[in-house]
A and B are shown apart, each in its own frame.
With several copies, the nearest count.
Chain A
């Protein structure tokens, strides 16, 4: 029997408030949908008023998703910041894929357990004119490295995710996605 779980790929993102973690999760998820896949997203924002940590869970598959919204293991991770990443650390599967924002991230990674892709995302974003684009850069890198979302998908996903009153950012976001995609080459 071919397990229905075989095709499921998990992604967990962690960062601190304002780094665009939730948006990146949405862009990747919407991108996967634009590519015709099945997706599940569950965000946890910490206690509303405690400020600080923000993380999100995305599952992508070609089949209906079996995974529940809270994961106990993840195939891949995007680490935007080190501050609240401890709980995630143990969840990364052996042989997984970890994207780390080296511009900011200050902690040890178990490089022998999983593949680490270093992305100076905040620096690149700052070069692109806005440090807040770091998450978009990461999304671009992730799409290509993971093979889960196409660049077209990401761009379409970004368009669907950006709220109307932020539409002036679409172009910059697109550039950031493209930049990330390019960096992952």
Chain B
């Protein structure tokens, strides 16, 4: 366990996603990850958020389907995460 500074967050309109993966690479701290199996009603996988968002808007800017709403926290949060989580 450790803590991660979280400066921002996103709201994801999973239904609007077409599963293109562009946001994943675009996210500088790499805190977006596609679902493994879950799909939206149109059958597309969609991104989920890990701790560490900076609110940089890169995902929103590159997403062709306007799936993201991005917020910046007035004061950064510190979130506890399971470091092994990514494995």
Contact = CB atoms under 8 A, between A and B. Distances in A.
How large, as a class, is the contact surface on chain B?
A: under 10
Contacts of B42: 51-52
B64 interface: no
Contacts of A52: 42
How large, as a class, is the contact surface on chain A?
A: under 10
Contacts of A51: 42-43
Interface string A17-52: 000000000000000000000000000000000011
Interface string A44-76: 000000011000000000000000000000000
Contacts of B43: 51
A51 B40 CA distance: 13
A25 B43 CA distance: 24
Contacts, number: 3
Nearest to B42: A51
A59 B42 CA distance: 32
A51 B42 CA distance: 8
A51 B44 CA distance: 11
Nearest to A50: B42
Interface string B34-54: 000000001100000000000
A52 B43 CA distance: 9
Nearest to A17: B43
A55 to B, nearest CB: 18
A51 B43 CA distance: 9
A51 B39 CA distance: 14
Interface of B: 42-43
3 contacts: A51-B42, A51-B43, A52-B42
Q: Which 3 A-B pairs have the closest CB atoms?
A: A51-B42, A51-B43, A52-B42
